[in-house]
Chain A
Amino acid sequence: MNGHAILYTGVTLAFWSTILIVGICYTIFDLGFRFDVAWFLTETSPFMWANLGIGLAISLSVVGAAWGIYITGSSIIGGGVKAPRIKTKNLVRYFPYIACILNFSGTTPETIGARNYQAGYSMFGAGLTVGFSNLFCGICVGIVGSGAALADAQNASLFVKILIVEIFGSAIGLFGVIVAILQTSKVKMGD
């Protein structure tokens, strides 16, 4: 096994053994009632979830875009040695994201209200949706773009045909944005 595999198995082992030992301790001391998922979900602040959603949306979209460019770019560099004309046509990026503003005051579930908890969790979900869909969209567009660049280097008329396939790839990201808008449409802001 190489070093990476050892590291990952070690970390996973430590994580699961910690969970196991903590669980056994809770069971032995009859403190199982302290394991309370509802308490965790109501006591943690909705702000945290919303912020995580926003942060993940932006960061994962950026990762997707970067990865796509990396894939396309390496092909353009390779193909551009023999066919320099391809270099400007293929840098299509797709970088949508969604962010909305959550504003409320309150410290107890009654004053925060179920609505705002839902807002926090919805924004977390929406952020994940947008982030991951943009991530894979970016990778997809990158791979297709790389193929387009190399085909374009061979035969200039092929570029537009392959661009159509690239549009399908971009649609993935668009679908993600639409779903996220649907998720956050029910989010009511304020008290």
Chain B
Amino acid sequence: MGLLSDPNRRRALIGLLTRLNAPICVVCYMAGVAWFMGLAFEPFTLRTYMSENAMGSTMVEERFPAGERALATGREFAAHKKKTGGMPVDWLVKTMQSRGLEVFTQRFSRRLPFPDEDKERYMVKGTNVYGILRAPRAPRTEALVLSAPCTAGDHNNQAVGLLLGLAQYFRNQVYWAKDIIFLVNEHDLIGMQAWLEGYHHTNTTGMDWSPLQGRGGSIQAALSLELSSDVVTSLDLVLEGLNGQLPNLDLANLFYAFCQKIGVLCTTQGKLQRNDWDSVSGYSHAVQTMMLMAMKQASGRPWGDHGLFLRYHIEAATIKGINSFRQYKTDATTVGRLLEGMYRKLNNLLERLHQSYFFYLMSSLSHFVSIGYYMPAFGLLGVILLLRALDLWVQLASPPPRTEDGVVDAEQVSSPGVLSVLTPLAVVLTAIAVYTLLPPATRARVFYCNPVCDVRRVSLCLLKAADGSGHGAGLEGAEAGGRALPGRAAGLHRAHQLLPGLHPGSHAGARGRLRHAQRAKVTRLQRLGDRCGSVRSLTSRSSSPPRRVLSAFVLVVLSPACTLLFSVFFFQELQEMPVSFLDGWMLYLSVISQGILDHALYGSLVYPLVALLVYPCWLLFWNILFWK
């Protein structure tokens, strides 16, 4: 009471806060957005550099000679794959054994909660085949992994061929200090998850796998190869993993250093690096690359087979070979040399990669922004929440007389009816209960009688249920709010500051905050105003229809569902593959179902986050809108 602080100054500050709240919020919002956009501007970024001393420079001699033989092996693999109609296990085992590896297989099976129309699978059964190259003189304490997925059709044959060619070459060298595990996994991510769970003796996702007969020690780093053509024009590096986790930046630095040494064109996010950073198009290119990376991280799904390694603290990345219409082609021998160089350098590691950054955004392969530089943007957006909360708290504590209206508000003190407070709470609680207690299949079944649900129908059901609950249908439909939303999260920033790459969502969310601020004022004014309006809602109160309709419209636009829809279209635009509305809608539905599948299969966190935090919060706002 005035002992340690000056009450006058405090009152002045509080008055400032309440008076200038909206402008400060607007300024913070603009500053946050501007900061984030400015991150891609090249003078504000740092050039990438190798931080790990043990890896040093690219000072090795790559001598891999057998690119053509690797491609021939790939063709053989393709033939056997077509013959067996899946993974040619016996042929792979025989080939790896002839190259001197210790070969083991692992069977796994998984029943998806509902059929995945994108990949056309429901009951997934498969086999992983892996061969271990033991280090000639070292104890079996550490390992490196090179993996290539076995996909149906005509994809990735060259990757498997190159993997086997490298295995043969590596077997003849004496300088390996770590075991190298060559893994060919079936059904890409599901197989990889089974293998990793078997390797580390964990069982987090309820998959059924046979235990691994052979092991190699703790894995220090892993690379996944995707190569579908005999020659490539560029190599793309994919870093984003499960739940937006990234490998250590040193892995990307290593890749880039070798690309420069060997002279291969290397990209990230599929976008070529440009040198004209001071021109508008160059800058927008950098912004697009960075936004793509942010959105991919926000989706929470692994964008390559490497994505599942990151959870076990294994630095991993995926290298994709891209064959576009460019004149200069790189052959398989050069790609093999690049991989050989990378593995020789990873071989020199004494401890796990930890010297460089774990949280970063890359506007190109040679420039990055670390978390210390991009977090202030989100911090500014978070400050808006804080200011709003302070403002509300101050007003709750001592409501200032509303002299500008000419009427003293005496009704603010009266608490709203019990029903209006309890109902949204009940909705949220049932949502949590349903989510945690029911298995996914039942959850899907709740909305649709057919026991085997089509994925699109599931998504549509969820959306309908969401609308229904929003309009007071009061179903376990809040459960429907559980949408896994790749690409964005409205209001996620307020729950989870640590998930990087949430700019699009926070963009929307902060706008939501602003709207909410205005809405709060609106509702207060409406209490004084005339009572009319007949909007069907949970706690329908009367208010001025145009304003309420406008607010309702804005809130619907900002709802998780719509934001996701916009993000899907935005994402396609960024990737320079814009889609028509119908295709976008289909993509949107598949995104929702993929999100649920990701959560069920690999433990992705986006779906429960949205279900338990975002959607109930939005519901509460919706109810507040129609509050008295």
**A complexed with B:** no
